[in-house]
Amino acid sequence: MRIAGLVLLLIIAGLAIAWATAPDPRGNPASFEADPLMPGIAPLEEAVTLAQRRKTDGTVATYLVIGLAEGQVRAIDLAALGADDVADPFAALASLDAEALRPNRLAEAPILTFTLAELLPAAGNGTRHVATGTNFAAHAEEAGSDSVFQFPKFGQASGAQTTVRADPDILIDYEVELCLRFDRPVASLADFDAATKGLFLCGNFTDRATLARMADPDNLDSGTGFSDAKSREDFFPAGALLVIPRDLAAFVAQERMTTAVNGQPRQDARGGEMTLDFRGLSEKALGDMDQPRFRYRGASHRLAPAGTLTPATVLMSGTAEGVIFTPPTRADMIEGLVDWALGGGRVTPTRAVIERFIANELATRHFLQPGDRVDFASSRLGTIRVDVTGE
């Protein structure tokens, strides 16, 4: 009996030491470029930058953006350059004659000034999108994933100056991403190559509590939990600038995107760090349209309902390293197993650890909280400001 008691004491002491010395990360570290990011507008020889605004009569006007500074854009109404009065920005641009964007024509056009808050989200008004997981190698490593995966994201985008609600029982995390939309349905790589493609900055928020409860860590490709955790109505802020590069791959490779929370840098990456570029992401998505294998709110869905990437569909790049979420720590596991033992096995050990992890993360309050401000920025795609509110 004495030996058994000593063994038990040693086990308890070992667990106590393991618990007391467990690391308590408050987010994932990220690498940052030395120079600060200075958002600007791409020169016309590299890309055409558009923005849209709803006028007082309810119609939508499309503008050529020629300047960006301190949350304001300088722009020229495409109608003043001879464009058709249509709501589709791609169609408005395509309706211009070949000389419309010449410097001499632009010099004669009236210049207008708008705040980013006055402009419509560059994502358009679609409600079904293709999101991407672990497409940046450093983020894949911090997430414990060994492959790129995709899943449907539901909901319409909000604008470049918006809010996200931090409920007391969820863990809100941020992601900065590059997003792409098309001027036509894309059902093949030939369609992708032929399409006019518009790039814009976007954010992606996640309820990590929901994701922790629902995700299958051994099969992230199933997408289980991701649509539910990332599809709330305020979880998809989009920038106001729709940028149409002349060379998409080269433009994306150089594009820089960052995240700051309350002025503190959290993410910093370039599009060239993507494992799959947008052409590769399109190919992957188009090869996974047939089966309704993705779950959302208890129902099964295909990756895209039409079996194609429609003009209303946004294709998302995935995010870089530096998100808040880290896996359960050693302390979370020990406490969860104690909860399981004291609870008489009413739930599985895994569920007990997950619930303890969520409770501990809620208590530390290092996920986004009411009063926080999240700033997403890019080198040539503009900025997004998100204020975190309470219930």
pLDDT band, residue 391 (cuts 50/70/90):
confident
Model confidence at 12: pLDDT above 90: no
Q: How many residues does the chain have?
A: 391
Q: CA end-to-end span of the chain, whole Å?
A: 56
Give the tens place of pLDDT for each residue, 175-184.
999 999 999 9
pTM recorded for the entire structure:
0.93
Least confident of 22-36, 74-88, 173-187, 258-272: 22-36
The yes-or-no verdict on residue 232 having pLDDT over 90 is yes
Section 367-386 average pLDDT: 98
Give residue-wise pLDDT tens across range 62-100. Answer: 999 999 998 899 999 999 999 999 999 999 999 999 899
Distance in angstroms (rounded) separating the CA atoms of residues 40 and 43? 9
Give the DSSP H or E segment for 20: helix 2-20
Strand partners, 113: 74
Q: What confidence category does residue 25 fall into, taking pLDDT thresholds of 50, 70 and 90?
A: low
Asked if 376 contacts 237 with a C-beta cutoff of 8 angstroms, the reply is yes
Task: Look at 10-24, 214-228, 332-346 and tell me which has the smallest mean pLDDT.
Answer: 10-24
Tokens, residue 233: 């109505």
3 pLDDT exceeds 60? no
Residue 239: both structure tokens together? 């920038």
Q: Is the pLDDT of residue 327 over 60?
A: yes
Tokens 């294709």 identify what position? 315
Mean pLDDT of 157-175: 97
Mean pLDDT of the chain: 92
What structural domains does the chain harbor?
Answer: 47-118 (no CATH), 128-328+364-389 (3.90.850.10)
CA gap 24, 147 in Å, rounded? 27
